[in-house]
Structure 1
Amino acid sequence: MATRMAPQRDSGRRRGRWTWPAVTAAGCLLVLLAAGRAWVTNARDPGGLAEMASPTGGDLSPVLTPLALAGLAGVVAVLAAKGLGRRLIGALLALCGLAAGLGTWTATDDAGVRTWLREHHVLAGTASATWDTVALWPVLAGLGAALMLAGGVAAVAWGGRWAGMSDRYERTPAPAAPRPADDRALWDALDRGDDPTASR
């Protein structure tokens, strides 16, 4: 029974080890994807005669793309680090997720959209401009930010228990064979394949 449970426990640990980076990296990629898409469409001047350029999430909140890239780097750094260093990187990753969430929130504000349109269409009357909001991309960016935040908190809370990337290459040295005390023990050691001249 114990021999059956041990492989199941090991496979569960392996799945858990790769679940965290997969979910956290997916959150970063969602923010990165959403930041490159247009969050506003069909923006027009008050007369409705001229259609204006559509700002992306990154245009409305320039912090989104850098935070997503920093989050991806943080995922790799958490896997490579150990102990306190892993927890500190996890805290920074959580801060990136929180900042990405705040950036997503501010990007959906009408005043921010109007400011961007005014800066990029100086000659158009943007005070009464109209536009359509694409809800999909802010929602995905908010979801990605939440996954980044949760991943950072998880790294702080449980990162100390996770195996590092280099753990599989670290081996415990084999104990030295006891030195034979007499001639008979010397021959027995040679029969076993041990080196009786090796020092302790």
Structure 2
Amino acid sequence: MTAPAPARDQARTARRSLLVWLAACAVGGGLALLAAGRVWVTLGTAGGPAGAGAGSLTGNDLVAWLTPAALAALAAVLAVLATRGVARRATSVVVALLGAAVAAGAWDGTRGATIASAAAQHMTTAVTSSGHISLESRAWVWPVLTAAGGLVLAGAGVVAAILSVRWPGMSSRYERGAGHEGTAGATRVKDADRAMWDAIDEGEDPTA
């Protein structure tokens, strides 16, 4: 029995919005992961020639939990597909919070105090002992892209918390298939029982 046209249209719209949401999450998470691994800051030593003893710091050097937060957000995206009801909404909130954490981490990675602390931890002893570490250049595009990816994930989490109740789950198809098989099996059993009783009524041996 086919579903009514309005129901089919609603199901098609729900699947389309889910695919768009997944694409947005993939773009946001991928952007954050890519940008966090790029060089955000180039360092040198004060008083020395340009480039002498220079070092570089990536977003992950500056904020160690950027990549873990982005990966956790993508894992939570998959969990949204595997859950339903309250669990799905709670997981959507987790996606939003992790996305916000990525965006906040991108901002924190541009602060002078964060750069100084990371430089002290990651620069070699030869560089740190030769003088004060100076900031030579910043690549603003990478923290901006990391923040953008985090904001996309945060927004996607909010959208999922509102709309995910309409989306299909990963197990919907299997549950429908199991339901159809169970119904067919029950029908076959009923038909066999009816045939047996009909044979008995007619004086035949149903086991022969």
Bin of the TM-score, shorter chain as denominator length: 0.7 to 0.9
The answer to whether residue 44 in structure 2 is matched with residue 47 in structure 1 is: no
Specify which of 161, 171, 176 is matched with residue 156 of structure 1: 161
CA distance in 2, matches of 1:100, 1:198: 67
Specify which of 106, 122, 132 is matched with residue 126 of structure 1: 132
Per the normalisation by structure 1, the TM-score is 0.79
Specify which of 61, 64, 72 is matched with residue 62 of structure 1: 64
Partner of 1:187: none
Q: How many residues align?
A: 180
Greater helix share, structure number: 2
Partner of 2:73: 71
Q: CA RMSD in A?
A: 2.6
Structure 2 residue identity aligned to 1:63: W
Contact 2:35–2:59 (8 Å) recurs in 1: yes
Identity rate of aligned residues, in percent? Answer: 39
5+ residue gaps, structure 1, are 178-193
Per the normalisation by structure 2, the TM-score is 0.76
Structure 2 residue identity aligned to 1:83: G
Structure 2 residue identity aligned to 1:47: G
Query: 1:1-200 alignment to 2 at 5 Å?
Result: 9-41=10-42, 43-49=43-49, 50-119=52-121, 120=123, 121-126=127-132, 129-171=134-176, 172-173=179-180, 174=183, 197=194
Which region of structure 1 is more displaced relative to structure 2, 147-156 or 61-70? 147-156
Which region of structure 1 is more displaced relative to structure 2, 32-41 or 165-174? 165-174
